[in-house]
A and B are shown apart, each in its own frame.
Chain A
């Protein structure tokens, strides 16, 4: 279990980890926001991509810039940077997603004096040829600008090596999910959460050494004992609430797969390392299941969630949204309707920074599982 402790430690204190990393490696740390950040390009330049989650809790400085109806990710991230918690960043990358992140980028650019700032305005449509062409152009320009900022050259070899490593990382993460799906008992979801979260912040080369060890550990523990609890799918945006997994597991359920930005959307799909790599990176985004802030057909998100429920033999879906997250809240009624039609029960949790009213959450969770 030692290996898991390492991940837990990093997931609990990503900032401390990165500060140490920076001192030891004299490297550059690039903050980023969502799974539409072309991390592979950052990593190819030798930089450390560092995902920002927003620590939550006492917000005060961010409220001087943002109204109370902004989500906890946006408020929390701004609070962290304004209060100096993210001073180790050498730069920040904002891929275009929702209206809130878009304005956060502006506010960040105007108020944060350190590091460089880059908007990666990707297309919103991910299902047309012109959008694909545009995305490739944006990524190419991003690479050029990044090279200029870091005074380095990202060669094709660098890119290829980076993409291959990312493919391996993603494959490992997916395997961990697959083992969990077969044997929900052998690793808790909060441990999986720690592994995935740490994977988004830690030195990717070190990560590549450590991830197979997690797999080994799990392979050893595999058993034929059938899981008797309730199998659930988690759907939503960013999940930064390890406690919720505990609550679900304590109530007799297990998350056997997810559709979240900090879960399957992060690791699904590999990138073809041959040919034009930038085009291959774009290709992965076009094939991957979309975030609701993007468009790729009218039913594809709903169909995808129904499909993963079936494929994973799940009995129900837990929607976990950040309060004030528009894209997810708009999609919820139609996806729920699709699930209802299939006879799949679901439950919605709307969250703000920290787990509020834990008691209520527990009761709701237990009651939901009782109905399955």
Chain B
């Protein structure tokens, strides 16, 4: 049986194909302006890659902020439920998921059976999200992919107090002009991001083991800052970015 999960996020759109309970392929593309096109494109990509007929797909589940703009989906499920289920697939022991995506961040706590018990999401503003990191990386003229590693060498992380992206950016500009070391500033940004996320997670009582999903899981600096704050190590899978899409594909199986 073949199912597909599509996660239309604000920055990237992800698709995962599952066959008989295992992931066979995953694709990530930029969402761009048109979320509807992104869903269609990523589906075509994955079909042409594994060379199957579209008709052999039994079910498609869409998730992510653009889940309702995937007309061919059989069902839509929120990213909360999908990240929980995708997280459990990647590591059946986990009880909590921290997901930091482009426009929002969330913390999810599950019961022993993996059902979502409680969740929290960030405020309307961008602080503590992937977008925030992206803006900061631009302000520092550092490639986002190098951002994480660079911060690991920081000796004295700067304190970034503002929770507003615009003000945080100008804080960073003034740190740069003071000659503060780049790695310290980046470490400060990571601390500030993780502080926001941990605060949110505390509200629902984060339970170990914790997994991190979403694109920002690729940023080792944020992961380390989070680990320090919550006092547990965090499990990050190679497939962290597509965990939501995996979850959707699993839910597709269950819904048949």
* A interface with B by C-beta (< 8 Å): 56-64, 67-68, 352-354, 356-360
The answer to whether B162 and A352 touch across the interface, beta carbons within 8 angstroms, is yes
Q: CB within 8 A of B174: which of A61, A352, A357?
A: A357
A56-B161, A58-B192, A359-B174 given; 10 more Cβ-contact pairs under 8 Å: A58-B159, A60-B199, A63-B196, A63-B202, A63-B203, A352-B167, A356-B170, A356-B171, A357-B167, A359-B177
6 A-B pairs within 8 Å (CB atoms) are namely A59-B199, A60-B199, A63-B202, A352-B167, A356-B170, A359-B174
> Looking at A57, A58, A353, which has the most chain B CB atoms within 10 Å of its CB?
A58
- In order of increasing CB-CB distance, the 9 nearest A-B pairs are A63-B199, A64-B202, A357-B170, A60-B195, A354-B161, A356-B162, A60-B199, A356-B167, A359-B174
Given the complex of chains A and B, what is the CA–CA distance between A353 and B199 in angstroms? 17
Residues on the A chain within 8 Å of B162, using CB: 352, 356-357
Q: Residue of B at shortest CB range from A59?
A: B195
Residues on the A chain within 8 Å of B123, using CB: 67-68
The answer to whether B159 and A354 touch across the interface, beta carbons within 8 angstroms, is yes
Interface size class of B (residues with CB under 8 A): 20 to 34
Interface SS, B side: helix
Given the complex of chains A and B, what is the CA–CA distance between A68 and B195 in angstroms? 13
Question: How does the 8 Å CB contact mask read for B161-179 relative to A, with 1 for contact and 0 for none?
Answer: 1110001101101100100
Asked if B142 is at the interface of the complex by the 8 Å CB criterion, the answer is no
Q: Residue of A at shortest CB range from B157?
A: A58
Asked if B138 is at the interface of the complex by the 8 Å CB criterion, the answer is no
Asked if B253 is at the interface of the complex by the 8 Å CB criterion, the answer is no
Residues on the B chain within 8 Å of A67, using CB: 123
Residues on the A chain within 8 Å of B198, using CB: 60
The answer to whether B161 and A357 touch across the interface, beta carbons within 8 angstroms, is no
Q: CB within 8 A of A61: which of B170, B173, B202?
A: B202
Q: CB within 8 A of A68: which of B163, B170, B192?
A: B163
Asked if B151 is at the interface of the complex by the 8 Å CB criterion, the answer is no
Interface SS, A side: loop
A362 → chain B closest CB, angstroms: 9
Residues on the A chain within 8 Å of B171, using CB: 356-358
Residues on the A chain within 8 Å of B159, using CB: 57-58, 354
Asked if B191 is at the interface of the complex by the 8 Å CB criterion, the answer is yes
Residues on the B chain within 8 Å of A62, using CB: 199
Residues on the B chain within 8 Å of A359, using CB: 170, 173-174, 177
Residues on the B chain within 8 Å of A360, using CB: 170
Question: How does the 8 Å CB contact mask read for B187-205 relative to A, with 1 for contact and 0 for none?
Answer: 0000110011011101100
Asked if B24 is at the interface of the complex by the 8 Å CB criterion, the answer is no
Q: Residue of B at shortest CB range from A353?
A: B161
Given the complex of chains A and B, what is the CA–CA distance between A358 and B177 in angstroms? 11
A45 → chain B closest CB, angstroms: 37
The answer to whether A64 and B199 touch across the interface, beta carbons within 8 angstroms, is yes
Asked if B229 is at the interface of the complex by the 8 Å CB criterion, the answer is yes
B179 → chain A closest CB, angstroms: 14
Residues on the B chain within 8 Å of A354, using CB: 159, 161
Residues on the A chain within 8 Å of B229, using CB: 60
Residues on the B chain within 8 Å of A61, using CB: 199, 202
Residues on the A chain within 8 Å of B22, using CB: none
> Looking at B125, B159, B174, which has the most chain A CB atoms within 10 Å of its CB?
B174
A116 → chain B closest CB, angstroms: 26
Q: CB within 8 A of A356: which of B161, B196, B200?
A: B161
Known: A59-B199, A61-B199, A61-B202. A352 touches B161 (CB 8 A): yes
Given the complex of chains A and B, what is the CA–CA distance between A353 and B161 in angstroms? 7
Given the complex of chains A and B, what is the CA–CA distance between A256 and B199 in angstroms? 41
Residues on the A chain within 8 Å of B202, using CB: 60-61, 63-64
Q: Residue of A at shortest CB range from B191?
A: A58
Residues on the B chain within 8 Å of A352, using CB: 161-163, 167
Q: Residue of A at shortest CB range from B124?
A: A68
Residues on the A chain within 8 Å of B170, using CB: 356-357, 359-360
Given the complex of chains A and B, what is the CA–CA distance between A358 and B192 in angstroms? 18
Given the complex of chains A and B, what is the CA–CA distance between A360 and B164 in angstroms? 15
Residues on the B chain within 8 Å of A357, using CB: 162, 167, 170-171, 173-174
Given the complex of chains A and B, what is the CA–CA distance between A59 and B200 in angstroms? 11
B107 → chain A closest CB, angstroms: 11
Q: Which B23-62 residues have C-beta < 8 A from chain A?
A: none
Given the complex of chains A and B, what is the CA–CA distance between A154 and B173 in angstroms? 55
The answer to whether B161 and A63 touch across the interface, beta carbons within 8 angstroms, is no
Given the complex of chains A and B, what is the CA–CA distance between A60 and B174 in angstroms? 24
Given the complex of chains A and B, what is the CA–CA distance between A114 and B162 in angstroms? 31
B193 → chain A closest CB, angstroms: 11
Given the complex of chains A and B, what is the CA–CA distance between A329 and B128 in angstroms? 28
The answer to whether A358 and B191 touch across the interface, beta carbons within 8 angstroms, is no
Q: Which B133-176 residues have C-beta < 8 A from chain A?
A: 159, 161-163, 167-168, 170-171, 173-174
